[in-house]
Amino acid sequence: MDKELLGIHHVTAIASDPQRNIDFYVGLLGLRLVKLTVNYDEPTIYHLYYGDELGHPGTIITFFAWPGGPKGRLGTGQLTTTSFSISETAISFWMDRLKSHGAQIQGLTTRFNEQVLAFSDPDGLQLELVATQNGQRGSLWKEGPVAPEYALRGFRGVALSERGHEQTLSLLETMGFRQRAQDGNRFRYEVGGGGQGTIVDLLSEPDASRGVVSVGTVHHVAWRTPDDGQQKAWRQQLVEVGLNVTPVIDRTYFHSIYFREPGGVLFEIATDPPGFTVDEPAHQLGTRLTLPSWLEPKRREIEQTLPPVRLPSLLKVR
């Protein structure tokens, strides 16, 4: 059957303190906490999902919150930078806002004719805001602290660091990515219709050390597929090219398969449906702990284990 990947579905990273993570991504960056749940494989820690008003695929960054976890190390075999799209007029706003809140700013540069503001979150996760022309506005969170003209508009793209990049390039082409540009050791690929959330930059860094995935680094990146049928077709093709692919796993809000690309980065292909309103109404997203049916019998035990968290007080910025 015909199949396609539509771009980035979500990026999942590892944080330390869950409250500090919520304060940064909701209170400072203005994303909505669309789901407060737990890591299904380790329900003693939170799994926090942030995105636009409804958590549409292409806007979602998630975190496993691991208090006391060891610090990770950036290096090859990792997704090293996650980039969000903003309007071309929003760079100065974000420079001022990040500075005023004490965020660690690495600087403002130009890449492929776009302004890029690089900074990091409190755990050292590497982030970028990319000023783009005609960026999609998406379903912006109207109750958030950042006015719509400055708001994050979903992902621009991600960067992967690889010691030997040729096999990864081959896999990306198998997955429908096509090369768009090159600047030195940075190869830019895009998938689907191009544009927002469809870009992956492959960094060829043969002399860099291997990364360690832990606090302050990305755990995996998920690519969007529109339905279960296309996901199964992708699984079959990936198995045929020699990759070890998991069975389909029900993540409640989407269905997932996982595999490692040749350089070591953990990839996921996730379905767009059913979405985050499957177990709570849109106006209540992220306001209570949600658990899958098989963990509901352990709710009291889980709630006693998890540290309490709260949503920050939100003041609109105009």
pLDDT of residue 318: 42
Note the pLDDT of residue 316: 54
Quickly state the pLDDT bin for 140 (edges 50, 70, 90): confident
List strands edge to edge, sheet with 199-204: 104-111, 114-120, 126-132, 78-87, 155-162, 199-204, 186-190, 178-183
pLDDT tens by residue, 216-230? 999 999 999 999 999
pLDDT class of 134 with cuts at 50, 70, 90: low
Task: Indicate the pLDDT class of residue 43, thresholds 50, 70 and 90.
Answer: very high
Averaged confidence pLDDT in the chain: 95
Amino acid 194: pLDDT = 83
Confidence of residue 95 (pLDDT cuts 50, 70, 90): very high
- Return the CA Rg of the chain: 19
pLDDT band at 138 (very low <50, low <70, confident <90, very high): low
Residue 193's pLDDT is 85
148 upstream amide cis, omega within 30 of 0: no
CA count, 13 A, side-chain hemisphere, 51: 28
Residue 136 has pLDDT above 80, yes or no: no
**pLDDT (tens digit, 9 = 90+) per residue, 177-215?**
999 999 999 999 999 888 889 999 999 999 999 999 999
Q: pLDDT tens digits for 10-23?
A: 999 999 999 999 99
Lowest mean pLDDT among 7-21, 70-84, 132-146: 132-146
What average pLDDT does this structure show over 73-82? 98
User: Which domains, from first to last, does the chain contain?
Assistant: 8-305 (3.10.180.10)
What digits encode the pLDDT tens for the residues 235-289? 999 999 999 999 999 999 999 999 999 999 999 999 999 999 999 999 999 999 9
Alpha-carbon gap, residue 303 to 44, rounded angstroms? 9
pTM of the model: 0.96
- β-strand 60-65 against 8-15: which pairing, if any? parallel
